């Protein structure tokens, strides 16, 4: 069975600091992995996706994530946080594009950015 675990339900950083949001996956087949962002009163918006091409994936708003099979991780990073990055972030997996695209989501990480 596929699953993702997000370590840390809340992460707080200062503006300009590195953002690191952690996600570990478990899957019996090569996974497809996604990071979504949710701003208040909005739906989830895709940040980036990994589909077994390049292991370092660049997304929107300066975010990127690296797929590390040895660590079963897909952590999300951004070199310099901006106030507008404050939101909730979800890691999700769809095991190898099967199951009609059904996604399994992590519990979410709320990112707070301090001035």
Partner 1 sequence: DAGVIQSPRHEVTEMGQEVTLRCKPISGHNSLFWYRQTMMRGLELLIYFNNNVPIDDSGMPEDRFSAKMPNASFSTLKIQPSEPRDSAVYFCAAQENSNQPQHFGDGTRLSIL
Beta carbon of residue 104, minimum distance to partner 1 (angstroms, whole number): 8
State which residue, 26 or 49, has the beta carbon closest to partner 1: 49
Helix (H) or strand (E) holding 3: strand 3-7
Residue listed under structure tokens 């997000």: 6
Residue 17 CB, nearest distance to partner 1 (Å)?
A: 27
Q: Tell me whether residue 84 or residue 107 sits nearer to partner 1 (CB atom).
A: 107
Q: CA-CA distances (angstroms) from residue 18 to 14, 33, 71, 74?
A: 8, 22, 21, 16
Please report, as ranges, the residues that interact with partner 1 according to CB under 8 A.
32, 34, 36, 41-46, 49, 51, 90, 94, 97-103, 105, 107-108
Q: Cβ 80 to partner 1, closest distance in Å?
A: 26
Min. distance of Cβ 62 from partner 1 in angstroms? 19
Sheet holding 56-58, edge to edge: 3-7, 19-26, 73-78, 64-68, 56-58
Structural tokens at position 23: 């996600």
Q: Which is nearer to partner 1, 6 or 81 (CB)?
A: 6
φ/ψ of residue 8, rounded to 5: 95, 110
**Cβ proximity to partner 1, 72 vs 105, nearer residue:** 105
């Amino acid at each position: 069975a596929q699953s993702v675990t997000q370590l840390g339900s809340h992460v707080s950083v200062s503006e300009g600091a590195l953002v690191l949001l952690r996600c570990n996956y478990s899957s019996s087949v090569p996974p497809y992995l996604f990071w979504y962002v949710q701003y208040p009163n909005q739906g989830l918006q895709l940040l980036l996706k990994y589909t077994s091409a390049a292991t370092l994936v660049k997304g929107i708003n300066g975010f990127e994530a690296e797929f590390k099979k040895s660590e079963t991780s897909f952590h999300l990073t951004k070199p310099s946080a901006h106030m507008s990055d404050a939101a909730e972030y979800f890691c999700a997996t769809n095991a190898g594009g099967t199951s009609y695209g059904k996604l399994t989501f992590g519990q979410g990480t709320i990112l707070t950015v301090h001035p």
